[in-house]
Chains A and B, each alone.
Chain A
Amino acid sequence: MNAVQRFIRSRVLLLTASILIVAMCLSVLVQGQSQAALNRTVDQNSRGLYDILVQAKASSSGALMQPDIATGQGGIGFDQLDAIRKLSGTSVAAPISLVSRVSQNLEAPRLDATDYLGYNAGLAGTAGDPTATDPSKWPAAQSVLSDTPKKYRLTASAVSSNGSSEQTLFKTTAEGTLGKGKLVEEQVAGGKNVRIAGPAGETGIKFPAPAGGSEHTLFNLSVALPLAPQVTESVVAVDPVAERALLGGAGDFLAPLEKAPPADARDAGAIGRHFESLFTSGITMDQLKEGPDFLGVKLKYWAPLMTQYQQAKNAGQLTADSQAIPLIVRSGTSLDLKYSVKIEEIDNAGNVTKDVGTVTRSLDKDYLPFVSKAPFDLAWPGSKDLSSLMGDTGGFGQGLYNPAIWSTDFATAPKYKDGQTAGNGAVEKSAVPGEWVTVNRLPEKGANGAAVDQTQRTPVDERSYRENLQTGKKPATPLPMVYGTFDPAKVQEAAGDVNRLPLGGYDPTPMTLTKDGSGKDTTPTALKPSLSATGLVSQSAGAITDYYGLAAARGYDKNASVIDAVRVRAKVDGTWKQAQPEVEKLANQIRDMGLEATVVAGSAREDASIFVPGYSKDDAAKESPLGTVTQSWVRQNAADAVTGSLSGTNLTLLFLTLCGAALLTGASTVSYVRKRRREAGTLRAMGWTQRRIRTWVLAEFGVGAAALAAAGIILSLVSWNPATAIVSASVLVLYCAAAFFAAQQLRHREVIDQEPQHDERLIPVDSPLTFASRQLSTNKFNTGSLAIAVGVFGAAVGGLAALLIDIPRAAGASALSGVAAASIALPSIILGISGVAVGLLLTMVTGRFELAAKRQYLGTLQAMGWNPDMLGQVRFFENAMVGTIGLPLGVLGALGVGLILAPYAALWAAVAGLVAVLCWIPIATKVVQ
């Protein structure tokens, strides 16, 4: 019988070689596939709209940034921007700066009650408008008010909510009588006059100042409600040309801003006078609807500008230096502000006789910063809007009355305070405004007390808020001049997931409350910006202007360093990998200018938990914390992070699979040695020399080694991957080592084993438990092998659990990692499952070592009259003890693997390892039976 025949006959060797080849193929192919998928995904997705983020001042790590608005670190001058643009490798350099926070009063809210008095040919506006309703078709007069005035009580309130808690901003009541109005014809000098008047005895309703009273018009009775609260918006500045070049089609909304006049053509007074002349000289209704033309741009929202111009002029705020600031304003808001009015009919004693109803209105997507469209125009229950009878002339929004207050004082933000140090070393470090706070830090210690790998998430120093941006020069009052609108969601969508930083001007930062102030978990609640001035920034900038606008608002000197960041795209095409050398070269050139240049190979969201203290005050002015919010920050170099972490995961799994294969080889080799020992003895008796026996053994292993080598070479050539060659070589070395071990073990033993006599100190055998214990202690090698195999199985299950937990986390951590995780999830899971299969196979192979002997002694016990229950107990106790021995290895192995793959899931991995080992016990008991 030649070596090949002997190899085939020796099922152990055949099985081992087959398993190793399969494991090799599986590992290499899965690894190759997943790596290829990962590389492809990262390459395709990791190159964002820009390659380099330039800042004047380095953050401590540069890894994470708030994406809400430019960071406010400031400091890049226009000369430096020009120098960057002049670099040969620069394609686009787009600056961005925080201009200001702008406070404005919303349009005065009012409550309208239908009080339509019917057609009157003498009313102004009813003649000459072709869109007006023909007089013959006007409806009959109608009103929700009675002919005789009734007494009403109106309770107006405004409530703001951040999504977690509500805050009543004000609540006030006014009482008075209201009735159906009438047309009064009066004799005046030179003719008659028709006016609209309330019924006899009507007192009207007047809220406390600054709200006005009630007034009848042709269509409505309007009650002026208390003034709405002030709303603060932020404004950022961009270079519209560069920004459009950066954003491509997603930046088309900035096109009107490109046409804005230069600084010397933005005189607010001149522009106001220009519009006044337009109305004086006449403008058609169509032109008004479309917006008057201003240097080639149709200014649809001209009304607010004119209103504020008039107000500023009357108040003396308008000076020769006042400029109109062109703005692209955000459409819609997530700001929650609800205005409501409760209407009750009361008697003279003040008792409620009838609840007329409550009407409410919220800020919503119709709200435009600087261009309020009567956001709190509330209607009396049952009222109708009949103003359209007069045609389009009634459709112009009044806009905001007062000029906005432009401020660069950011100290109104909440005061962060030092937090507490948790038991695991996590520090809730915070600071007062203007100081730095380190956030996003992982706990110092894990659940098992071991140090946590801090490289998973880089802590970042955040300046709580910039105190101000004053440049020493007080600017004249600017007027907002709205050129257009943008939808932040659409910009986000068009720019893609991996382009978040710092497009923050368009990119609100989602925030979720996860723990309350006492640290207890709460139902995750998305927070909105509220009017309580908490400083939680989760809203995109209210408006975008250009750098002339920035100059007008801040009043800085020429070439002041007012650029917060510059986003640079390198002049090179292709994927990230293809562009990387040129990008790095360009980044180094920028660094040589003394600027901080961060190469952004993909940037995507990642959650960071931040404790927010001092969030609210009670009636006694006692501050309470909000709790812990999960805020989406942006990870720079997300591509590298994804490549590193997911490649590491695969390599770890591959390593574990190889470890399992090594154990399997060891176990099968020992099994082989045991089976062949008698054969070797017979051959020795026949006169074979030691060398010949060794050759005899090695020849059998040589067949398997040749098969492994052939498989390794083929796989290496097919995959053309160094990892394949390394894996193949590792397996081959492993197998050869096993061969030499087997040959060594089958040597002739000169010394006869002298077993000692029975040790009376051993626990006497008097039960199935002690019998099982004795058997295991007698067969220590088998017990140990099986326990290790069980431990490996448990560790593999733990690893798989960690992987299954990690993939969704990885997918949710950032946009890029989500895409990458999705691309390699299946190969990774297959690899993890193969690891579990190897572990299970290992337990089966090692468990078979003494199966024959086990069957024999179980048969002997049966022959002695041990009943099936007792035999079952013997089997169970044996496996339970093996499981107990293997348990620490399984749990610690799973914990270790979990810490390598996903530290946050390590505990679950350990639990999975524990459960796997515990489950193995009854399964093995059943199998032995």
Chain B
Amino acid sequence: MTNELNLDREAHDRMTTSTRRAAAQKTRANTIVRPTDHATPLELSNITIHYGGGKNGAEAVNVVDDFNMTLHAGEMHCVAGRSGSGKTSILTVGAGLTLPTSGRVFWEGDSLETMGDDEIADRRRALIGYVDQGGALIDGMSALENVLLPAVPDGEVEQRRDMAKDLLDLVGLGRRMRHRPAQLSGGERQRVAIARALILGTRVLVVDEPTASLDRASANRIISILKDTTSDGIAVLVASHDHELVRQSDTLTELI
């Protein structure tokens, strides 16, 4: 058997997915933003992601192979796995930020294949809030300004200012809203990023490693915020290998 065949088999084995439904759908209360009626805001179908194998002779790596997932409203789905297993890749593909090697992504039943860049951007703004690893806040702008950034394209900065302050209050940073990213801790930056992701009434929250490099207390605080958002009907797709986060998620995909 050739090395190539061995690699293919490894990739296939790694993608063996065990999914368990942890809890039933929760009742909804303390509505921040009311989700639409769409029951499945995000669906990934037969997603395959390969890296490398270009002209420079680098060896191709199958990161994700034939991955399927359906995210329901009010559900927190966790993609777990060791580093390099493809968690972030699945998130960026789900958020429409990168294209999969093959497979299809559906947003509220609509395939991204049929959309242009502008439409994807508009739909993403309305549907998905993406929280990057580490928060990815913009330097030179206060926490409040960072939260309001998604409202700029629609010219709704002033209209959403109060909501932004409420969201920062909600994530426990009501008194730090004038601070800049450099003046915030890692956990605080994550919370600002989550508030920013929710500012436009997002129906899907895509969060990448929200508790990585955080202490337990800060991590628990983030997990609590995420859980609260699901109670408002927001679907959460989170990549993490944090056991507590995995434990509290409704569904789990474990990448091997």
Which residues in A have some Cβ–Cβ distance to B below 8 Å?
A: 755, 757-758, 760, 764-768, 771, 774-775, 777-779, 853, 856-857, 859-870
B130 touches A864 (CB 8 A): yes
Chain A residues positioned under 8 Å from B221 (CB to CB): none
Q: In the complex, A755→B142 CA distance in Å?
A: 12
Instruction: Please tell me if B157 contacts chain A, counting CB pairs below 8 Å.
Output: yes
Chain B residues positioned under 8 Å from A869 (CB to CB): 118
Instruction: Please tell me if B141 contacts chain A, counting CB pairs below 8 Å.
Output: yes
Contact of B122 among A765, A767, A867 (CB under 8 A): A867
**Quick one: CB contact mask for B107-118 with A, threshold 8 Å, 1 for yes?**
000000000011
Q: In the complex, A758→B158 CA distance in Å?
A: 18
Q: In the complex, A479→B109 CA distance in Å?
A: 117
Which residues in B have some Cβ–Cβ distance to A below 8 Å?
A: 95, 97, 117-118, 121-122, 124-126, 128, 130, 132, 136-142, 144-145, 148-150, 152-153, 155, 157-158, 178-180, 182-183, 196, 200
Q: In the complex, A767→B151 CA distance in Å?
A: 9
B145 touches A765 (CB 8 A): yes
Chain A residues positioned under 8 Å from B152 (CB to CB): 765-768, 771, 866, 870
Q: In the assembled complex, how far is the CB of residue B91 from the closest CB belonging to chain A, in whole angstroms?
A: 10
B153 touches A866 (CB 8 A): yes
User: Can you give 5 contacting A-B residue pairs, CB < 8 Å?
Assistant: A757-B142, A764-B157, A765-B148, A766-B157, A864-B150
Q: In the assembled complex, how far is the CB of residue A37 from the closest CB belonging to chain B, in whole angstroms?
A: 46
Q: How many A-B residue pairs have CB under 8 A?
A: 91
B140 touches A868 (CB 8 A): no
Chain A residues positioned under 8 Å from B137 (CB to CB): 860
Q: In the assembled complex, how far is the CB of residue B97 from the closest CB belonging to chain A, in whole angstroms?
A: 6
Q: In the assembled complex, how far is the CB of residue B238 from the closest CB belonging to chain A, in whole angstroms?
A: 15
Chain A residues positioned under 8 Å from B136 (CB to CB): 856-857, 859-860, 863
Q: In the assembled complex, how far is the CB of residue B178 from the closest CB belonging to chain A, in whole angstroms?
A: 4
Chain B residues positioned under 8 Å from A764 (CB to CB): 145, 157
Contact of B179 among A757, A766, A779, A860 (CB under 8 A): A757
Q: In the complex, A648→B85 CA distance in Å?
A: 66
Main secondary structure, interface of A, reads helix
B183 touches A757 (CB 8 A): yes
Chain B residue, CB-CB nearest to A768: B152
A867 touches B118 (CB 8 A): yes
Q: In the complex where A758-B142, A764-B157 touch, is A867 in contact with B183 (Cβ < 8 A)?
A: no
Q: In the complex, A774→B149 CA distance in Å?
A: 12
B145 touches A867 (CB 8 A): no
A861 touches B140 (CB 8 A): no
Contact of A863 among B95, B148, B153, B155 (CB under 8 A): B95
Contact of A774 among B124, B141, B153 (CB under 8 A): B141
Chain B residues positioned under 8 Å from A868 (CB to CB): 117-118, 121
Chain B residue, CB-CB nearest to A866: B153
A867 touches B141 (CB 8 A): no
B153 touches A870 (CB 8 A): yes
Q: In the complex where A766-B157, A863-B130 touch, is A755 in contact with B121 (Cβ < 8 A)?
A: no
Q: In the assembled complex, how far is the CB of residue A858 from the closest CB belonging to chain B, in whole angstroms?
A: 10
Q: In the assembled complex, how far is the CB of residue A412 from the closest CB belonging to chain B, in whole angstroms?
A: 82
Chain A residues positioned under 8 Å from B182 (CB to CB): 755
Q: In the assembled complex, how far is the CB of residue A869 from the closest CB belonging to chain B, in whole angstroms?
A: 7
Q: In the complex, A779→B138 CA distance in Å?
A: 12
B180 touches A867 (CB 8 A): no
Chain A residues positioned under 8 Å from B97 (CB to CB): 859, 862-863
Q: In the assembled complex, how far is the CB of residue B119 from the closest CB belonging to chain A, in whole angstroms?
A: 9
Q: In the complex, A864→B121 CA distance in Å?
A: 8
B180 touches A864 (CB 8 A): no
Chain B residues positioned under 8 Å from A755 (CB to CB): 180, 182-183
B121 touches A866 (CB 8 A): yes
Q: In the complex, A765→B137 CA distance in Å?
A: 14
Chain B residues positioned under 8 Å from A779 (CB to CB): 140
Chain B residue, CB-CB nearest to A870: B153
Q: In the complex, A402→B145 CA distance in Å?
A: 104
A862 touches B145 (CB 8 A): no
Q: In the complex, A517→B27 CA distance in Å?
A: 96
Q: In the assembled complex, how far is the CB of residue A511 from the closest CB belonging to chain B, in whole angstroms?
A: 67
Q: In the assembled complex, how far is the CB of residue B146 from the closest CB belonging to chain A, in whole angstroms?
A: 9
Chain B residues positioned under 8 Å from A867 (CB to CB): 117-118, 121-122, 153
Using A757-B142, A764-B157, A859-B97 as known contacts, list a sample of 11 further A-B pairs with CB atoms less than 8 Å apart, ordered by residue number in A. Answer: A755-B182, A758-B145, A764-B145, A765-B141, A860-B132, A860-B136, A863-B132, A866-B152, A868-B121, A869-B118, A870-B153
The 9 closest A-B CB pairs, nearest first, are A865-B125, A778-B140, A758-B142, A867-B121, A863-B130, A766-B157, A864-B150, A758-B178, A860-B136
A766 touches B150 (CB 8 A): no
A777 touches B140 (CB 8 A): yes
Contact of B178 among A757, A766, A864 (CB under 8 A): A757
Q: Which of B128, B140, B155, B179 has the most CB of A within 10 A?
A: B140
B122 touches A865 (CB 8 A): yes
Q: In the assembled complex, how far is the CB of residue A252 from the closest CB belonging to chain B, in whole angstroms?
A: 77
Contact of A758 among B118, B155, B180, B200 (CB under 8 A): B180
Q: In the complex, A867→B144 CA distance in Å?
A: 22
Q: In the complex, A261→B124 CA distance in Å?
A: 110
Chain A residue, CB-CB nearest to B178: A758
Chain B residues positioned under 8 Å from A856 (CB to CB): 136
Q: In the complex, A864→B132 CA distance in Å?
A: 10
Q: In the assembled complex, how far is the CB of residue B206 from the closest CB belonging to chain A, in whole angstroms?
A: 9
Contact of A864 among B144, B149, B155, B157 (CB under 8 A): B149
Q: In the assembled complex, how far is the CB of residue B3 from the closest CB belonging to chain A, in whole angstroms?
A: 32
Contact of B153 among A758, A857, A865 (CB under 8 A): A865
Q: In the assembled complex, how far is the CB of residue A602 from the closest CB belonging to chain B, in whole angstroms?
A: 62
Contact of A766 among B118, B122, B139, B158 (CB under 8 A): B158
Q: In the assembled complex, how far is the CB of residue A766 from the closest CB belonging to chain B, in whole angstroms?
A: 4
Q: In the complex where A862-B121, A863-B97, A867-B118 touch, is A774 in contact with B140 (Cβ < 8 A)?
A: yes
